[in-house]
Chains A and B, each alone.
Chain A
Amino acid sequence: MTIDVIDRPLTRDGGAVNVTAHWPADWIDHLAGIEPGSPLAALRAERPEARRNAQLSAEALFLPAEETVFSRAERAAVALFVAGLHRQAAVFAFYRDLLVSQPGGLELEATVIAEGRRGLTEGPYGAYPDGPLRVENRSGPLYRVDPAQADVLGPRLTAALTHAHLLVFHPRDASALHLQALLDAGWDTTGIVTLSQLVAFLTFQIRVVSGLTALKYSLPGV
């Protein structure tokens, strides 16, 4: 609780600002440009639990009630990297804002954006186990953080961005060795679970935003 308060910006009289108040009530609506009262908002309201819990997922991942070893700045840095890999402008701008609003975030911003650009490719690719599916193997780049940037990012974030690139573009190549690399870089089991959820959640959120944005422009009146 104490850490939670220190982490938040202070108002002029020294009281903590509620960080969640700075962010939209529904991130997917915000990112897809869905206005309250619009036909698309009415359609989303037909799946109220999905809408509400997608938002609760985002808040649990990016604005957790208790600060853990996996800091908010690290979470936002991974998000900005993943958003960059997806080339989705609204999502990229949003997580960039989230990162720079975190303590230490500003110092990471340029490097994370540059790494996101270095990691650009097209997915999904990857290999199948030995057998008839091998004919569907698709090769693609094996991303590694620029060694010159490792000092800025530190070992934990360096390992996290490498892992995030694997999950975004070639998840079927994932192996136990990739988790061992995270453990060796200082991640613990719970942290790896949260990191995996965070990257995987973003691949969901970004696709919902892409899909709803396309729907908005495709159907007159929606």
Chain B
Amino acid sequence: MTEQVIRYPAQSEPAVFTQDELGWLPWLEPLPESALTDRHRDGLVDPARAKSPYFMLLVRDPEVLGARTRTDKDIFYNTRNGLPRADREVAAAATSRVNGCIFCASVHARFATVHSKRREEVQTLLDEGISGVADPRWAAIARASEALTETPSGFGTRDIQALAGAGLSDLEIIDVINGAAFFNWANRLMLSLGQPEEPVAA
């Protein structure tokens, strides 16, 4: 028998970019927690992710999820000699803004605000898009992320010179490349395996 996707006909989807906490509803059945084996737990990396429908769906291929999660953590958390966390979150939020992933943009805009304390500037990125970013360093990061997100890639010497001109070292430029490239991976999973959900009204 053919499997059926899960539909949410009554669910309204968020229609604007926001820093609010959104939910996410899967279109395919996540693995039930009772079915987790050691192989799955290794793929989840972080045991708390067993509560997330997104990761419990991805854990159906645990080797890929495990390698992906470890790639993600080093790209975003390993700041040794490199780009500060806030700037990486700007690359992630900018990429999500360009691809149109309202859910991913909400998470990483929020992280950018937490790490930078510059909520209004982050909101401008969400409201106006890449061209709305005024701060020269963030503008270079957002523009480079946008160029790298285009297919085929529009990223080149001009972007690298702009990043270097904004004060980024070679390793920091690699951090931008990794962050924007990784969110092309993340956006496509979030956008195509389920839908964002409005926060429950308080």
Contact = CB atoms under 8 A, between A and B. Distances in A.
Query: SS class of chain A's interface: helix, strand, loop or mixed?
Result: helix
A88 interface: yes
B74 A48 contact: yes
Nearest to B146: A124
B80 interface: yes
Interface in A122-171: 122-124, 126, 128-133, 136, 166-169, 171
Interface string A15-37: 00000000000000000000000
B160 to A, nearest CB: 4
Interface string B150-161: 111101110111
Interface in A93-136: 122-124, 126, 128-133, 136
Contacts, number: 213
Given A47-B174, A130-B15, A207-B184, A122 B28 contact: no
Interface residues of A, number: 72
Contact of A88 (B149, B153, B157, B186): B153
Contacts of B117: none
B118 interface: no
B29 interface: yes
Contacts of B16: 131-133
Contacts of A219: 160, 164, 170
Interface stretch (B98-106, B108-116, B134-142): B98-106
A73 interface: no
Contacts of A172: 99-101, 191
- Report the contact-size class of chain B (Cβ under 8 Å from the partner): 35 or more
Given A53-B71, A172-B100, A188-B3, A204 B61 contact: no
A210 B148 contact: yes
Interface in A163-222: 166-169, 171-172, 174, 176-180, 183-184, 188-190, 192-194, 196-197, 199-201, 203-208, 210-212, 214-215, 217-219, 222
Interface of B: 2-7, 13-17, 27-29, 57-58, 60-61, 63-68, 70-71, 73-75, 78, 80-82, 98-101, 129, 148-153, 155-157, 159-161, 164, 170-171, 173-175, 177-178, 180-182, 184-189, 191-193, 195
9 contacts: A47-B82, A53-B70, A124-B98, A179-B5, A192-B28, A193-B193, A211-B174, A214-B155, A218-B160
Interface of A: 39, 43-44, 46-50, 52-54, 56-57, 60-61, 64-65, 85-88, 122-124, 126, 128-133, 136, 166-169, 171-172, 174, 176-180, 183-184, 188-190, 192-194, 196-197, 199-201, 203-208, 210-212, 214-215, 217-219, 222
